[in-house]
Structure 1
Amino acid sequence: MTVDLVIFDIGNVLIEWNPERHYDAVIGQKRREAMFAEVDLHGMNELVDRGEDFRATIYDWAEKYPHWRDEIRMWHDNWIKLARPAIDHSVRLLRALRAHGVPVQALTNFGIGSFAVAEAHYPFLKEFDLRHISGEMRLIKPDPQIYAAVEARCGFPASNILFADDRAENIAAAEARGWQGHLFGGPQGWADRLVAEGLLSPAEAV
């Protein structure tokens, strides 16, 4: 099947996203496990991804758990340390596709404020032809509506889109709309898929 548009997820496809790892380094694994068991930090982050204010959401959440206040605020204050490093091979694939003339877009669950921080730190996030950011759209994957909104904006039929994401439920939702999906398990597998689709040569996909 023809691929006319490649869409990248960002977290754990282009940038590692592992808050637990950062907290383990800062407060220790035992305390981190206790905090994450008590506080739904990923649920908090989902509110940001849905378009709620980055700082206000996290600081308000911190006030609900005063004994974890400083640690929860780190989610905002040290956010870039939660989202690192860049996955360099994936970044090279993004740039190789664009150099080859392949349209490349992004579809990501990301807050408006947190994306602004990420974009300042990772300039390659400005290199997409079009970016579909959940916080701006006020929809998150795997809601079918976000894929429909992308189809309306992207200029390509669903069947001609190849989408890479690290979460199986997001790929399943895309494929249910007729997209071609790639469950991202690492950059080499993604490189191999792009070569198999004829979008890059083996030398370009290194």
Structure 2
Amino acid sequence: MSINAVIFDIGNVLIEWQPERRLAERIGADRAASLFAAFDVHAMMTRIDAGGDFADTIEETALAHPDWQHEIRLFRDEWNAIARPEIPHSVRLLRALRARGVPVFALTNFGARNFPLSAAQFPFLSEFDRHYISGEMCLVKPDPAIYEAVETDCGFAPETLLFTDDRDENIAAARARGWRTHLFDGPELWAHTLVEHGLLTRKEAA
């Protein structure tokens, strides 16, 4: 059966999400390591991804950790310096698929208010045919409900959807619904998968 749509995760697929590295650049490696040891930064971001207000959630977290208020507020005040850079080959693949007329969707754990900040910084994030933003849906991967919501909205059969994500649990949840999947571990192998499915030529995927 042919592929009706290709679905991209965003973090670590199209733009890097390595907050430990970015914070180390900003405040020093030792201070950043202590920050991530002191409390669960990723849990804070998951609250935002699940529908929590971006600014309010970060401010509440900062107030709850007085020794780290400045560093925690960097996630709000310097978001575009943390969620970066783009992954150029992945962006080329996105645009090559669109040039071929292949519907391309985004399915991402991302806050409703910080996604527009990243989309303004990286215009290719606005080029998808459909966006499924967890913070807008109040559902997060790997909850099966978010995949069901995508199926219902786009109207395509699960086996006609090809999805790439960098997290095993997100891929497993999609596969359990019958989606075709690719565990993202760099754009080169993702390009190969797109060629194998007949969606791009080798030249287009380079």
In structure 2, what residue type is equivalent to 1:110?
A: F
SS of match in other structure, 1:185? coil
Q: CA separation in 2, counterparts of 1:51 and 1:201? A: 39
In structure 2, what residue type is equivalent to 1:131?
A: H
Confirm whether residue 114 of structure 1 aligns to residue 114 of structure 2: yes
Give the corresponding residue for 1:82.
82
In structure 2, what residue type is equivalent to 1:150?
A: V
Give the corresponding residue for 1:185.
185
Shift of 1:37: 1.2
Q: CA separation in 2, counterparts of 1:36 and 1:76? A: 16
Confirm whether residue 99 of structure 1 aligns to residue 105 of structure 2: no
Confirm whether residue 125 of structure 1 aligns to residue 119 of structure 2: no
Please give the root-mean-square deviation of Cα atoms over the aligned residues, in Å: 0.8
Q: Can you give the 5+ residue segments of structure 2 that lack an aligned partner in the other structure?
A: none
Q: How much identity, in percent, do the aligned residues show?
A: 57
Q: CA separation in 1, counterparts of 2:23 and 2:126? A: 28
Aligned pair count reads 206
Shift of 1:155: 2.0
Give the corresponding residue for 2:151.
151
Shift of 1:160: 0.5
Shift of 1:64: 0.6
Q: CA separation in 2, counterparts of 1:135 and 1:15? A: 18
In structure 2, what residue type is equivalent to 1:5?
A: A
Runs of 4+ aligned residues of structure 1 deviating over 4 Å after TM superposition are: none
SS of match in other structure, 2:75? helix
Q: CA separation in 1, counterparts of 2:161 and 2:45? A: 28
Scaled by the length of structure 2, the TM-score of the pair is 0.98
1:23-57 superposed Cα distances (whole Å, 9 cap, x missing partner): 11122222211111111111011111011111111
Scaled by the length of structure 1, the TM-score of the pair is 0.98
Q: CA separation in 2, counterparts of 1:151 and 1:124? A: 23
Q: CA separation in 1, counterparts of 2:88 and 2:109? A: 20
